[in-house]
Amino acid sequence: MTLKREVKEELGIDILGKIEFLTGVVSNIKIPTNNGEVGLALMVYTVELPEDAEIKISDEHLSFEWVAPREATKRLEHKYPKEFTDKLI
């Protein structure tokens, strides 16, 4: 599953518990590629991680932190469409 692979690549952990799809939004944000622009689909899942999971972020990131859904919405609202961020809470 793509989500499991991404979590492993970005956080260095395996998802062992329940995975639940919450919502998705097709954004009007365009991402340039070598073959033109592609649209951005934003997906939100909840996942259960092992209690003793040690987060090891990839070299693509400087840091991470856990935040409540309302705080995540506040931090992301300048970057992503409102129809997406509103669904986080």
Check if the beta carbon of residue 22 is closer than 8 Å to that of residue 45: yes
pLDDT digits 0-9 by tens, 31-70? 888 988 888 888 888 888 888 888 999 888 899 998 998 9
Name which of 52, 47, 62 is nearest 2 in CA terms: 47
Mean pLDDT of the chain: 86
3-state SS class at 3: helix
Residue 28's pLDDT is 78
DSSP string, 20-64: EEEEEEEEEEEEEETTEEEEEEEEEEEE---TT------TT-S--
Nearest to 64 by CA among 74, 49, 54, 77: 54
Question: Is residue 1 over pLDDT 80?
Answer: no
